[in-house]
Amino acid sequence: MTDSSTQPKNTETMEFQAEVGRLLDIVAHSLYSEKEVFLRELIANAADAAEKQRFLNLSAGVADNPAEEYAIHLSADPVAKTLRLSDNGIGMDRSELIDHLGTIARSGTGKFLQENKTSSDSAANLEALIGQFGVGFYSAFMVAERVEVISLKQNESQAYHWQSDGKGSFTVGESTRPDGRGTTVILHLREGAEEYLEAHRLRQLVRRYSNHLALPVYLDDPEGGESERLNDSQALWLRPRSEVTAEELKDFYQSLSHDGQEPRATVHIRAEGSLEYSALIFIPRNKPFDLFLPERKSGLKLYVRRVFITDEGSDLIAPYLRFVKGVVDSSDLPLNVSRELLQNNPILPKIRRSLTKKILSEIEKLSHDSAAYESFWQEFGAVFKEGLYEDFENREEILKLARFKSSEASGWSDLSAYVARMKPGQEFIYCLSGESPEALISNPHLEGFKAKGVEVIYLTDPIDEFWLQSVSEFQGKAFRSITRGAAELSKIGETKTESAEQKSKNDSQKQSVQKLAELFKGILATEVKSVELSERLTESAVCLVAESGDIDLNFEKLLKQHQRVEKSAKRVLEINPDHPLIQKLAKDAEAGRSERIEDRAWLLLAEARLALGEALDNPSDFARRLERVLI
Ligand code: ADP
Ligand code: MG
């Protein structure tokens, strides 16, 4: 329906400000990835207008008419192919229509244009500009070939009409607005944009972008029946915490996450002061299946003053906290900030920092209930630990919250408890990496530590190898892998006092094992870096360790799986001087029975490899040597 009854009078044609002209040109060629955002922009403008009117009444001491609720009405006319949006907000008079819809009045945009006057001719520049400030009202021209605006201000008798095809000029004239105060925007839809006449599409868009707007959005019935309300009630996250019921939180969480369970924890944030935002964040019970997929979307939705902006707000949350779900509503971001340019907005890192602290403190609260925390850790521990190398600022806090299994404690344990259990003389936090605690228990590297009761932390997530590279210490104690470097166990706990006789016996035994080690080294020179007497073995005869400056064993394995390293660095073979087999071989070496040594050296190296779960390079060589010694 074109308003033939209210044909505009006394119309005047005017040129758009040059910048607007160029902007419209780009809009027509569609800069946004989704044209549908026009509805979000127009609804946001209508909501702004309502808020301005409410504020105006408030500051003038005029009570809002209780019979007249602030609302937005959509109505579609499939015959005329028009979509109308009506509000009862502040409205615009003639000069405001000219100023607001004919120039770029927004301070930021204007300033930007001023500063870039000389170079702003290029389309690329304008695209950058638009990305930064959004196109707001002009986005209507993405879907409409002609746009009419009819507006009436409070306490004024004359309504005005604005119209343009978005091609350089617009007209303004007098009109009437039977609905009273407010603004009606009429979009004459382009060919191909008919979808925006369909109720289901409008319903979908309003739910998507404007669901939590404070004022209702109605779709009017073309037959004059009852209007349908398209958006939900008031934004939950803006209500005081005490007024929100657990049931409402659960419903909201479920609609947000499509998770059938209740959330594990809820963080309700109302930040005020230098940074203003509200947030409602949930920690789910279970981890989503796609937690480790790179293409996964963030679980957070970003709103600006209750208007949905994006759910691709991965910049809103530190990646190691990507398991949370929720909404963040900022008052500091410009409403029409485009999602393309969100990354460069300086407000986001501030919100992210504040959110991170709040979420960490909620997780800290969870940790007071050890059973509940264990379940949290089972689900999210592996992701959470990424924070150890990602989030330098909160590293100490994350280390405190981290849980580990170990060789001495049953169940999960934390690092403070580990440090409290350290033995006299123990300088390091010892750790051992592998696939699972079960696989690590029988690891020969652990033997000497177990014998002395020195606790070793099991690191069984791939991520552990990465943070270990960058985290140097906890409470002044450095981390030390027990498969790398010397074990130096003799410094820990009581040192045995030996008699002079015993000592000389031990020393001579040591000397002969030392000689054996030299012999082994000569035989295995192509395969090992050196052969050393072990302090960490008590039961096994041999084990392999990485030299202190080299990549640790499990890390190397991981890198190999990802084709990051080709060939292993040479390792150190440790031999156990107290093992009967080593002592026997030491005697053989002393007695010059060197023919017994070679095969056994190779077989012992193979044994050490097998104990690490590695495959042998040359199985047939292994088999031949084995047969020879078994004869
Ligand atoms: P922004 O909303 O960022 O200011 P827009 O391009 O969306 O930019 O709108 C430009 C201006 O037009 C608004 O600031 C407002 O003053 C005016 N305006 C747009 N729509 C309405 C409306 N429905 N009611 C009153 N004023 C409006
Ligand atoms: Mg706007």
Domain extents in the chain: 4-229, 236-371, 403-491, 500-630
Q: Whose CA is nearest to atom 4 of ligand 1?
A: 106
Ligand 1 atom nearest to CA at 335 = 3
Q: Cα(191) to centroid of ligand 2, in Å?
A: 25
Ligand 1, atom 10: nearest CA belongs to which residue? 100
SS3 (DSSP) at 172: strand
Q: Which of 534, 526, 528, 603 is nearest to 574 (CA)?
A: 534
* Helices assigned H by DSSP within 287-369: 347-366
| Closest to 561 measured CA to CA, from 465, 430, 446, 440 | 465
Residue 238 Cα to ligand 2 middle (Å): 21
Task: State how far the Cα of 4 lies from the Cα of 8, in Å rounded to an integer.
Answer: 9
Report the b/e string of 175-206 with b at 16+ CB within 10 A. Answer: bbbeeebbbbbbbbbbeebeebbeeeebbebb
Burial environment of residue 78 by CB neighbours within 10 A (0 to 12, 13 to 18, 19 or more): exposed
Our answer on whether the CB atom of 579 is closer than 6 Å to any ligand 1 atom is no
Q: Which of 20, 100, 113, 132 to mutate to test the pocket of ligand 1 (most atoms within 8 A of CB)?
A: 100
pTM for this predicted structure: 0.67
Gap between the Cα atoms of 166 and 22, Å rounded: 10
- Smallest CA-to-CA distance from 397 within 365, 440, 428 is with 365
- Identify the residue whose C-alpha is closest to ligand 1 atom 3: 136
C-alpha 46 – ligand 1 centre gap (Å): 8
Which of 45, 52, 103, 338 is the best mutation target for the ligand 1 pocket, counting ligand atoms within 8 Å of the beta carbon and taking the most?
A: 45
Which of 179, 19, 18 lies closest to 85 in space, CA to CA? 179
Q: What are phi and psi of 286, to 5 degrees?
A: -115, 155
Nearest CA to ligand 1 atom 23: 46
pLDDT of residue 241: 86
Atom of ligand 1 nearest to the CA of 185: 23
Q: How far away, in angstroms, is 296 Cα from ligand 2 center?
A: 30
Nearest atom in ligand 1 to 334's CA = 3
Strand partners, 281: 267, 326
DSSP state of 549: T
pLDDT at 558: 75
**Mapping DSSP to helix (H, G, I), strand (E, B) and coil, where does residue 183 land?**
strand
Our answer on whether the CB atom of 550 is closer than 6 Å to any ligand 1 atom is no
186 token code pair: 């009429």
Number of alpha helices (DSSP H) and beta strands (DSSP E) in the chain: 20, 23
Ligand 2 centre and the CA of 90: distance in Å? Answer: 14
Low-confidence ranges of the chain (pLDDT < 50): 1-2, 4, 107-108, 117-122, 129, 131-132
CB 577 less than 6 A from any atom of ligand 1: no
Ligand 1 touching residue 86 (CB < 6 A): no
Beta carbon of 87 within 6 Å of any ligand 1 atom: yes
- Residue 335 Cα to ligand 2 middle (Å): 7
Q: Could you say which DSSP state residue 546 is in?
A: B
Spatial CA neighbour of 402 closest among 415, 393, 390:
415
Q: Say what the pLDDT of residue 340 is.
A: 61
- Answer CATH for 236-371 from 2.30.130.10, 3.40.50.2300, 3.90.950.20, 3.30.230.80: 3.30.230.80
**Distance from the CA of 41 to the center of ligand 2, in angstroms?**
5
Could you say which ligand is closest to the alpha carbon of residue 92?
A: 1
Residue 100 near ligand 1, beta carbon < 6 Å: yes
Give residue 383 CA to ligand 2 midpoint distance, Å.
39
How far apart are the C-alpha atoms of 462 and 469, rounded to whole Å? 12
Whether 186 lines ligand 1, by a CB cut-off of 6 Å, is no
* 390 vs 373: CA distance, rounded Å: 22
Give domain 4-229's CATH architecture. Answer: 2-Layer Sandwich (3.30)
| Spacing, Cα 45 to ligand 1 middle (Å) | 5
> Quick check: 375 and 263 in contact, CB under 8 A?
no
**Ligand 1 pocket check for 137: Cβ under 6 Å:** yes
Domain 500-630 adopts which CATH fold?
A: Four Helix Bundle (Hemerythrin (Met), subunit A) (1.20.120)
How many A from CA of 2 to the centre of ligand 1?
Answer: 23
Q: Is 49 in the pocket of ligand 1 (CB under 6 A)?
A: yes
Q: Is the CB of 46 under 6 A from ligand 1?
A: yes
| Per-residue pLDDT tens digits for 319-365 | 999 999 999 999 888 765 665 667 678 888 899 999 999 999 999 99
Q: How far is the CA of 184 from the centre of ligand 1 (A)?
A: 12
- Kindly state if the Cβ of 149 falls inside 6 Å of ligand 1: no
What is the rounded distance in angstroms from the CA atom of residue 119 to the CA atom of residue 112? 11
Contacts of 23 (CB under 8 A, 6+ apart): 104, 126, 129, 130, 135, 138
For 192: left if phi > 0, alpha if psi spans -120 to 50, otherwise beta; the answer is left
Distance 591 CA to ligand 1 centre (A): 98
Distance of CA 146 to the CA centre of its chain: 42
What confidence score (pLDDT) does residue 494 get?
67
Q: Which CATH class is domain 403-491?
A: alpha beta
Please work out whether the CB of residue 102 comes within 6 Å of at least one atom of ligand 1.
no
Sheet containing strand 403-406, strands side by side? 413-414, 403-406, 456-459, 429-433, 477-481, 473-474
Question: What pLDDT does 125 receive?
Answer: 52
Residue 133: nearest ligand to its CA?
A: 1
